Amino acid sequence: MILKSLYTKIFRLAENVQFKKQMKFKTPSHIQEKLDIVYGKDEQSNRFDIYYPKNLEGQKLPTILNIHGGGYIAGKKENSAEYCRKLANKGYCVINMEYTLADKEGFPKPVYDAFDLFDYISKDEEIMSHIDYDNFFIAGDSAGGHIASSIANIQCNEDVKKEFNVSGGPKIKGLILNSPVFGVFRFGNFPILKKNFEKLVFGKYRGSKIQQYCHNFDILNKNFPPTITFSANNDFIRIHNSMFCKKAEALGLDVQSYNFVSGKHLSHDFIIFNTDGKEGQFALDKIDNFINNTMGNRLKKGVYKTKVNLSKKVKKEKRKETQQEMDLCLER
């Protein structure tokens, strides 16, 4: 009980701080937005927003489903609103979903919520007029990245899909993950922490086979979609990104991973809450390139890990890439 209370307070405090930063942003006049569309039984938890450029009205656009973070217990879609607007501004249809938090029902309820959303939009002709189901991407940050990769695993692995007992939904063209979690923390040699954390996050699903399938490191296969990830040296869960890249290399997956190596402000989820900064702009451009290259079958094969340093202190003679990217050191 103490762990649950402390964990909840920490994440909801962080959420409130970040949400205040987002309040200043407004939707540009050239972006069409439709807010708080209810897609499921819970009118509070089962809602989504949709954004797309007004000048592309009536066209089916490459589509991004965005899933917010918050440690499974906190967060709201509004925290990612500015990030979604910036993606829509690049010519995409962006769906920003709310989902059931773990204090109501444990993980993977958000995964089931996503399939309810897929079912809803597939039956809505007006919404489907904007969505290209053949070019459907999922974005997620932190715990939202875990939800996104779980959906991808379901869609590329029939055994997993059967275990979750879901159907339908689009084929996932690619994943866009910021400071992602890929599996619920296991706490190593601290069984009490492990037990209590699993009770909090999984609820009624704790101890089930479903819980096993929620550790995506364990069930990745060669059909997993192309993925772009962003992390930073000061991101407290950056190890998840490193572990994913290692597993991806062994499976022969296509991954572009960017790790920001300078700046104390570059910590967990730094891109989502700093879209106007140079790091946010860099990431948005890379996401745009990733989507276009994936759709055009031009994405480089293999796992590419890139260290990114956008510090102003970088000397001119060290700038080997474009002036925009500044000091990129490519590792293979």
Domain definitions of the chain by residue range: 2-298
Lowest mean pLDDT among 53-67, 119-133, 257-271, 307-321: 307-321
Q: Give the per-residue pLDDT at 243.
A: 93
Which is nearest to 229 in space by CA: 172, 267, 176?
Answer: 176
CA distances in angstroms from 246 to 142, 207, 315, listed in the order given: 19, 27, 32
Q: Give the per-residue pLDDT at 25.
A: 65
| pLDDT at residue 90 is higher than 80 | yes
pLDDT bin (cut points 50, 70, 90) of residue 260 is very high
Q: Give the per-residue pLDDT at 327.
A: 37
| pLDDT at residue 98 is higher than 80 | yes
Q: Give the per-residue pLDDT at 12.
A: 59
- Rounded distance, CA 160 to CA 149, Å? 12
Q: Which two three-digit tokens encode residue 84?
A: 């979604």
Q: Which two three-digit tokens encode residue 151?
A: 């959906």
pLDDT bin (cut points 50, 70, 90) of residue 261 is very high
List, for residues 146-175, the tens digit of each pLDDT value. Answer: 999 999 999 999 999 999 999 999 999 999
CA atoms within 13 A on the CB side of 172: 25
| pLDDT at residue 40 is higher than 50 | yes
- Rounded distance, CA 47 to CA 35, Å? 8
Which is nearest to 73 in space by CA: 235, 192, 162, 181?
Answer: 181
* Residues 47-73, mean pLDDT to the nearest whole number: 95
Helix axes 191-202, 2-22, angle to 10 degrees: 60
Look at strands 31-38 and 47-53 and give their pairing. Answer: antiparallel
Q: Give the E-state strand segments of 251-310 in sequence order.
A: 255-260, 303-309
CA atoms within 13 A on the CB side of 11: 21
* Residues 98-117, mean pLDDT to the nearest whole number: 95
Which is nearest to 308 in space by CA: 245, 257, 261?
Answer: 261
Q: Give the per-residue pLDDT at 45.
A: 96
Place of tokens 């829509």: 88
Q: Give the per-residue pLDDT at 189.
A: 62
- The highest-level CATH class for domain 2-298 is alpha beta
Q: Give the per-residue pLDDT at 187.
A: 64
Which is nearest to 225 in space by CA: 320, 134, 155?
Answer: 155
Q: Give the per-residue pLDDT at 167.
A: 95
Lowest mean pLDDT among 14-28, 118-132, 133-147, 150-164: 14-28
Mean pLDDT of the chain: 87
Q: Which two three-digit tokens encode residue 13?
A: 């405090």
Computed on alpha carbons and rounded to an integer, the radius of gyration of the chain in Å comes to 19
* Residues 189-213, mean pLDDT to the nearest whole number: 83
Q: How much of the chain exceeds pLDDT 70, in percent?
A: 85
SS3 51: strand
List, for residues 285-332, the tens digit of each pLDDT value. Answer: 999 999 999 999 999 999 999 999 998 654 443 444 443 443 343 343
* Residues 106-112, mean pLDDT to the nearest whole number: 95
| pLDDT at residue 20 is higher than 90 | no
What is the 3-state composition of the chain as percent helix, strand, coil, each rounded to the nearest 5?
40, 20, 40
